[in-house]
Amino acid sequence: MPTYHNAGGGYPNVSAPARQAKLDGNQNHHTIPSNVTSHPLIQNSTQHNVPSNLSASNIPSHPVSPTMTTHSNVTTPNITSHMNTGSTPVILTSNVTNPSNPAALSVNPRHEVKLNAMPWFHGKISRETAERLLRPREDGLFLVRESTNFPGDYTLCVCYQGRVQHYRVKYKNNQLTIDDEEFFENLALLVEHYEQDADGLCTQLTKSLPKEGKQDFCVDLKAFVKAGWVIQTHELELRECIGKGEFGDVLLGVYRGERVAVKMLKDNSEAAQRFLAEASLMTSLIHDNLVKLLGLVFNNQHMYLVTEYMSKGSLVDYLRSRGRLHVSKKDQINFAYDTCAGMAYLESRHVVHRDLAARNVLVAEDNSAKVSDFGLARDENFSLEGGKLPIKWTAPEALKQNKFSNKSDMWSFGILLWEIYSFGRVPYPRIPLADVVKCVEKGYKMEPPDGCPHEVYDIMRQAWDLQPEKRPTFYDIKLVLGQLKAEYTKGVN
């Protein structure tokens, strides 16, 4: 069995005592965890079959644990072109009835799901830091931070008459509230409400103080319902585990008579937000060489992301298990071209993958290759803060300066080409991991694998240029690989 590798109107103002009760009496600050784990969606359970009948009106709310960079500027692609022709969402429809085609599984109109950007969210900062940042003290200037006195809650900090007022934003019945009267499903909706009406606060929110560096977002589960991406629980049959993903186990499933891959959510709200971020990105990216999103399942115990099933598993496992006896030169150039085509599409959409490697490319039954693992994909020029990186696949500027771009993806593509033509060997085989970065910075480039065409090795060397701006684009390389693919196909025939 193949292994998957990641495969508002007006509201009456509250009384003066109630208004005062809104203030968060934070006096101390300490480090607190950002995860909120009380919601039923994020509690462990071994029961898979649960009631369905999910609708936009009864979908359970989900705690917000904003941890990721927004990619809200990514728009729904024109499915007839690789280039983005506008920001107007495209309704994706399919009338295909052939069950062997994954598109046949998606027969309802579907829209792109966008994330809610939160430039005003500053994360784990103290009361004192918030007050230092909120200058000049203009009435209505505000930011939101994680509460220091109430772990898992938030604090709305707003300027009024030369002072900063701190309002506790707490969870109640899995929704957010300040006054126990108005309830909101996420921080973005709460802020939007108080931007329209003070509704008991000292003043209306008029101007946000953006956080420097990477910004955060929140995800609304109902957006997936309204956009047509929800699969009813009874429609999905779960079978055996076929691998491990970033968020948890990946199971084989059956949906409308076809095999599918099902990513399960781990039990914490931070993962839930990243899980939904990946799903929201996948609703906007449609290409033959990207793994297709079929939908999501929400219920009171689990959250699943359902994608097309790639029966031959990851590319690296495919190469290693079959080797030179079964993987032909035509197969190799096809894998290279397919991956490049998928990446050229992402490039045209200004989306950076950040973890391109043979382990994150999957092989379909017809031997086509598709780019997978959008868990790390973000907007162009995203900078990573912390976290583990696959050193041997990551460009020097990304490792040293946290600068990720389509050009750093091109570096990784060069490594992936080397993997293809070495039949899945680990890159830099004779260099200790601790020495790889030093060697690369001195200009070292791996030798071509045995039997690698010189045209393909030329692409590798161009991809490994230490100056990102000198690396080719995926569009350019796709043209070169397309010519090579045509030559191999002609030679075989």
- Reply yes or no on whether 458 is catalytic: no
- Count each helix (H run) and each strand (E run) in the chain, helices first: 12, 17
Label the pairing between strands 369-371 and 361-363: antiparallel
Pick left, alpha or beta for residue 319 (phi over 0 → left; psi -120 to 50 → alpha; otherwise beta). Answer: alpha
What is each CA distance from 290 to 272, 281, 284, 391, in whole angstroms?
A: 22, 12, 11, 24
- Taking residue 194's Cβ as centre, other Cβ atoms within 10 Å add up to 24
CA distance 281 to 1: 28
CA distance 339 to 288: 10
Nearest to 103 by CA among 334, 348, 307, 363: 307
- Taking residue 177's Cβ as centre, other Cβ atoms within 10 Å add up to 17
End-to-end alpha carbon distance in the chain: 32
Nearest to 310 by CA among 357, 264, 250: 250
Nearest to 361 by CA among 345, 378, 376, 342: 342
Q: Which of 24, 267, 355, 379 is catalytic?
A: 355
Nearest to 414 by CA among 464, 342, 454: 464
In contact, 265 and 282? CB cutoff 8 Å: no
Nearest to 142 by CA among 120, 131, 158: 158
Binding-site members for ATP are: 263
Q: Looking at the annotation, which residues are catalytic?
A: 355
